[in-house]
Structure 1
């Protein structure tokens, strides 16, 4: 299926490894030009080079998502470099599970305010794309942890807040053809990710988590990226306000 992304412009935060990197590469594979950011300069440079090797324009900057001014400046620089923006993906996460104040602040700054700031900066460009090309989309990477709670968790609560935020954005943006969707992965495995480290350091717990999933495995970043890119594409032009769970049925909830 042609996702009608060739020549489109997408920006992805936290995109040098794991899910973010897979999303950026999936957009490039579909012919979209891509801007990315992360905190490690060498990883940003390597990712930009890899994206350019796919035959698209790529742009990258070192950005701390907690630095609101720097994040907004990056989004605007990305739009200038790519000639506008059709898609913005807020993917960066603090990835902390604690119930202490520091954990709550980190999740709020990165996951909530990060998404808010990406949208604030990208909105004028997305509205232009909606007006001129008929479709634009803002995407948020959340987590199935938003729907699962065993103990008080800053991670799960803030991921749930992202989903609520996205629904409001979707309704507000619909008249201007600016959509907003969420992808909520379950457990995702890559070597230098959270579950890769668990496998190396706590193999028994890792095996226990594999057994919890009816599929008997964890997702790959590429599988999450495929769902994200489809929801972002013009092929999903009437799909907005959706939280798509990509968890291999590890959760027991029924989504209505």
Structure 2
């Protein structure tokens, strides 16, 4: 299937590693120009090189997403480098540490406000696009608690709600907003890789709860993001695609 991404311009916040990096390379392979941010210059440089190797324009920079002014400046720089922005995806997350004063603040500032800041900064460019698309990243624990109360899940739930409301507001402007909510996803060097190595019993117990019999892959999540971001899904907005191998039990009416 041709996703019709060739020549489109995608800005990915926190796209230098893990699922963000995989998504960046997939979009580039489909012909999109891609800008990514990260916190580690070496990782950013490596990712940009991989993007450019696909024969498209690549741009990268290091930025702290909790610094509102710096974040906005980076989005502006990325859009200038690509000649605009048709797709914005935010992978911003503080992770899922146990609840504490600090972890609640971090989840609010990175997951929720980081997503909002990026979208707000990208809006002037998306408004000039003929196929503007925003994809935010949720999680299955935001819609069906699985690991107890945690700020990560609560802030992701807020993001899912905000994305749905934003989709209603922006649809008349031709800008689509959708959410991708992964369940347990295995990426080499990622959180579930570390759990597999350090707490194998938790990894095996989680895999056993998934009807598909395994954890998902970063490539599977990236493909869902690319589809929703692409003009191929031009009549889809306000949806939340869950990728969890059947782990969540809710009926999605």
Which TM-score bucket, shorter chain as reference?
A: over 0.9
8 A Cα contact 1:148 1:156, kept in partner = no
Gaps of 5+ in 1: none
Please say if 1:145 is aligned against 2:149: no
8 A Cα contact 1:98 1:104, kept in partner = no
Aligned pair partner of 1:235 in 232, 235, 251: 232
8 A Cα contact 1:144 1:247, kept in partner = yes
Instruction: Tell me the equivalent position of 1:118.
Output: 118
Please say if 1:204 is aligned against 2:201: yes
Please say if 1:226 is aligned against 2:229: no
Aligned pair partner of 1:195 in 192, 196, 200: 192
Q: CA deviation at 1:184?
A: 0.1
Instruction: Tell me the equivalent position of 1:73.
Output: 73
3-state SS in 2 of match to 1:139: strand
Q: CA deviation at 1:253?
A: 1.0
Aligned pair partner of 2:248 in 233, 251, 254: 251
Q: CA deviation at 1:2?
A: 0.6
Whole-Å Cα distance in 2 between the matches of residues 244 and 96 of structure 1?
21
Q: CA deviation at 1:18?
A: 1.2
Instruction: Tell me the equivalent position of 1:45.
Output: 45
Q: CA deviation at 1:97?
A: 3.6
3-state SS in 2 of match to 1:128: coil
Please say if 1:33 is aligned against 2:33: yes
Instruction: Tell me the equivalent position of 1:57.
Output: 57
Q: CA deviation at 1:96?
A: 2.2
Gaps of 5+ in 2: none
Aligned pair partner of 1:158 in 155, 161, 177: 155
What TM-score do you get using the length of structure 2 for normalisation?
0.97
CA distances 1:79-100 after superposition (whole Å, capped 9, x unpaired): 1000000000011211024221
Whole-Å Cα distance in 1 between the matches of residues 136 and 41 of structure 2?
24
What TM-score do you get using the length of structure 1 for normalisation?
0.96
CA distances 1:166-221 after superposition (whole Å, capped 9, x unpaired): 01111111111011000000000012110000011011211111111111111111
Instruction: Tell me the equivalent position of 1:91.
Output: 91
CA distances 1:42-101 after superposition (whole Å, capped 9, x unpaired): 000000001100111000000111111111111111110000000000112110242211
Q: CA RMSD in A?
A: 0.9
3-state SS in 1 of match to 2:185: coil
